[in-house]
Amino acid sequence: MQQHLEIPIRRRHLVRFNPKRIPHAFADVLVIGSGIAGIQAALEIPNNLETIIVTKDVLQLSNSAWAQGGIAGVFDPSDSFDNHAYDTMIAGAGLCNADVVEAVVKEAPELIESVVSYGAKFDFADGKLALTKEGGHSHRRIVHALGDATGREVMRAMVDRVKSKPGTQTWERTFTIDLLTHEGRCVGALVWNAQHGKTFIWAKQTILATGGAGQLYRETTNPEIATGDGHALAFRAGAQLRDMEMIQFHPTVLYIAGGSRHLISEAVRGEGAYLRDSTGYRFMEDYHPQLELAPRDIVSRAITDQMEKTQHPCVYLDLRHLDKKMVASRFPNIADVCSKFGLDLMHDQIPVRPGAHYMIGGLTVDKQGKTTLPGLWAAGEVTSSGLHGANRLASNSLLEGLFYGQRAGRGAADVASNLPDLFTAWPMKTSVVEPNNGEEEQLNITDLRNSLASLMWRRAGIVRNVQGLMQASGQVEFWDRYVCRREFSQVFGWEFQNMLLIARTVLASAEARRESRGVHYRSDFPETDSDMARHITVQATAEA
């Protein structure tokens, strides 16, 4: 079951171009993005196929590399696949695909072992993988690396492996402006970098693994690169998006006024840390029987509610009662970040508040990673796969990236290997437009971007209602009308145009879901409606 929305777009391509004046490159498979899903996909492509990996920054910078907690998988004899699947489905609040959940959790141990084979150094205890517990999990099943730097260590090993892979090129600091389509199929992408300008990359198959869109929000754990580019360029090309209202807010983000936001891993609460408000009261007892280990949506709303009650800008994580040696060994990176602000994990309470963390909604994909646009595959945070439903269970994200990266890589490679090298037969004129002779109009994009992030935080954040959503929609439409008719020549302009487009899909989907479910909470519709246990899909139409 699904409810379908259509959103008009003001332009199919962000820039105009002349194919006779732009260099062309050719690949069997083009991979856009270098997080865990993109690198996993590239590693699955046979060496005899030409693969190009395009990444917006450097290979090592991605949401995956910032992940602290770990990867969920059943290793404890007292645990089971049924338990992991049940916990995932409960967190997903009625929108998970049971077949997808079952397939992913059953393959988790094997996928984790494959990462070990890449050279990732996970933490061990008594000769076995060390396991911890996080919110929403009934058992200890989270494997971790370097204490609280799992993503960084996993990506180090995987990037090292892909760099030495024959037949694979990596184009770093290269921005993907748009997908190229011909006769309803994706046939590659238009990319840009400072050294070469624009380049066409024609590909037999394309895999999108561009991550999330946390920068839509003022408070976020995501790096600066997370601007929803993949969601936007696929949407403009005609791919379907799903559940765009479902954005997970992490409950505990380090809050220091004037300082950058840093994730404080769920594993801190998994090891026994308490949440206290500004009066010292341990408030989670008032909200959920699992206390600090309740699902993330519940903890985030509880923190928000407690901040309102106390009229204080944050709450506090208290680790002072925990074993000092355990804290030092499990959370060295968090301790280091806190120390830069004069905070000691063992003697000070750590100020935290929620922040946008994970984009659950994204491109609709099947179990193989195929999108609704032929020739285009997708994996990881850019997708809506059916694994997370309405609320992602902690430490299932890296797992999803491994699972779908593997399938998308294998699937795209199989198709590409059976297609002839007939790139020159594609009539490029039908896929492009003429160059622009006008000058780029200057706008204060930094001010606009800050205004958008603040608006989305206030009106489409943890608590939503129809008045706030409609107000935000009107403001975003106003910005979109004059920003998206302009043509920019640099990344910051293209990013902001993408952010405006994705904000429109989020707001429309959030207004259409007139209930509360998982991470989506409507104060004007606070109950879950059984009749709305369905997906909300959205697709682009041409502006009237």
Task: Return the number of other C-beta atoms located less than 10 Å from residue 459's C-beta.
Answer: 21
Task: For residue 466, count CB atoms less than 10 angstroms from its CB and return exposed for 0-12, middle for 13-18, buried for 19 or more.
Answer: middle
The two beta strands, 315-318 and 350-359, are: antiparallel
Instruction: Report how far apart the first and last C-alpha atoms of the chain are (Å, whole number).
Output: 28
- Structural domains in the chain plus CATH codes: 24-246+360-425 (3.50.50.60), 250-356 (3.90.700.10), 445-542 (1.20.58.100)
Q: How far apart are CA 416 and CA 4, in angstroms?
A: 32
| Confidence (pLDDT) at 425 | 43
Q: How far apart are CA 114 and CA 373, in angstroms?
A: 30
Query: Which has the closest alpha carbon to 244: 355, 362, 385?
Result: 362
The answer to whether the CB of 361 falls within 8 A of the CB of 244 is yes
Q: How far apart are CA 192 and CA 481, in angstroms?
A: 25
Q: What is the dihedral of CA 183, 185, 186, 190, to 10 degrees?
A: 10
Q: How far is the CA of 14 from the CAs of 229, 440, 501, in angstroms?
A: 12, 12, 12
SS3 content of the chain, % helix, strand, coil (to 5): 35, 20, 40
Q: How far apart are CA 196 and CA 199, in angstroms?
A: 7
User: Which residue is listed with tokens 């994909």?
Assistant: 365
Amino acid (1-letter code) at residue 262: H
What pTM did the predictor assign? 0.91
DSSP symbols for 119-144? T--B-EETTEE-EE--TT-SS--EE-
Per DSSP (E only), the strands in 217-295 are 241-242, 247-254, 262-263, 274-276
pLDDT per residue of the chain (544 residues) written in tens, 0 to 9: 789 999 999 889 999 888 888 999 999 999 999 999 999 999 999 999 999 999 998 876 665 655 666 899 999 999 999 999 999 999 999 999 999 999 999 999 999 999 999 998 888 888 888 898 887 899 999 998 876 678 788 889 999 999 999 999 999 999 999 999 999 999 999 999 999 999 999 999 999 999 999 999 998 988 889 999 999 999 999 999 999 999 999 899 989 876 667 888 877 888 889 999 999 999 999 999 989 988 888 899 999 999 999 999 999 999 999 988 888 888 888 888 888 888 888 888 999 999 999 999 999 999 999 999 999 999 999 999 999 999 999 889 999 999 999 999 999 999 999 998 865 444 554 444 444 444 455 789 999 999 999 999 999 999 999 999 999 999 999 999 999 989 999 999 999 999 999 999 999 999 999 999 999 999 999 999 999 999 999 999 977 5
The residues carrying an active-site annotation are 296
The answer to whether the CB of 35 falls within 8 A of the CB of 67 is no
CA angle (414, 419, 420) in 5-degree steps: 145
SS3 2: strand
